[in-house]
Amino acid sequence: MRPIRSFGRTRSRPLSRNQAELLESNLASLLVPNDIRLDFVPIELMPSAKEVWVEIGFGGAEHLIKQAQNNPDVLFIGAEPFIEGVAKAVKEIEVHGIKNIRLINADVRPFLNCLADNTLERIFILFPDPWQKSKHNKRRLINKSFVEDLVRILKPAGKLRFATDWADYANKALAVFLGNKDLEWGAEVATDWQTPKPDHFTTRYETKGLGDCKPMFFDFEKISPDLAR
C-alpha cells in the first residue's frame, strides 16, 4: 500500500523560462537515480564524502544550500516534491558551484525504504506541512512508522532535527519521537527547544511566521547499542 501523501501541491505557477532551461540542462545530473537497489548505501553517490546528511522537504533550499556550503566534505541529499523549490535549489547549486548536493524531486519515502541500515549521520525535517485541520492530521509526515524508518537508517549517535511552528504538531510529534526507545532527547530547559542550535540556518518559510506559535526545534540522537536502555 502506498503511504498517505504527506505533501500538498507539487507546483503552482509555471516556471520562468530561465528556471525551465536551468532544470532542463542541470537537473538530471543532480537527481538521485530512481532505480536504486534495496540496501543501498547512499555514500556511493559521492564516495569522497565523509558523511551523508538528508533534508526532507527543503522548501526554498535556503537551509540545504547553506549547510552544503559550510560542510563541503558531507554529501547532502535534499528531497522536495514542489518543483519551484527544486528550481531554486538547482539555481543556487549552479551559481555557487556546489558539488555535494543530490536531489530527489518526489516523495522521499521510497528512497528511504531502500537504504541500508545505519547509513546516515544526520536527518533534517524543518517545518513540514502541518496539515493543521483535525481531519487532515493523518497526512502529517511524522508518525510512529515513519520515525521507525528514520531510526533504522540513522547510524548510532546519528542526529535528527525536527522543527515546526504549529503547537499541536509539536506536541504530537514530540510524543512520537519520545515513544521510540532508540532516540534520546537531550533537552533540559525550555530554551533548548525554543532556540535554534548554532548550526541552524533560517528558512524563508520560518521567517513568514505562518504557524500558531514560535518555531520549536527538537534535536534527537540515536542511542548507541552499548548505551541502549
Instruction: Please tell me whether residue 216 adopts helix, strand or coil conformation.
Output: strand
**pLDDT of the residue at 205:** 84
CATH of residue 162: 3.40.50.150
* Domain of residue 186, residue span: 34-227
Taken in order 12, 17, 23, 24, the sign of the CA dihedral is positive
pTM of the model: 0.90
Lookup: cell for 173? 510529534
8 in any annotated domain: no
Tell whether 3 is covered by a domain.
no
| Residues tagged active-site | 129
Q: CA-CA distance, 167 to 175, in Å (whole number)? A: 12
Nearest Cα residue to 164 out of 145, 183, 141: 141
How many separate domains does the chain show?
1
| Domain contains 23 | no
Within a domain: 10: no
List strands edge to edge, sheet with 120-126. Answer: 101-104, 74-79, 51-56, 120-126, 154-164, 216-222, 183-185
Q: Does 129 fall in a domain?
A: yes
Q: Specify if 13 maps to a domain.
A: no
Is residue 93 domain-resident?
yes
pLDDT in tens, the chain (229 residues): 556 555 554 455 677 777 777 777 788 899 999 889 999 999 999 999 999 999 999 999 999 999 999 999 999 999 998 888 899 999 999 999 999 999 999 889 999 999 999 999 999 999 998 866 666 467 699 999 999 999 999 999 999 999 999 999 999 999 999 999 999 999 999 999 999 999 999 998 898 888 999 999 999 999 977 655 4
The per-residue pLDDT for 229 is: 47
Residue 159 lies in a domain: yes
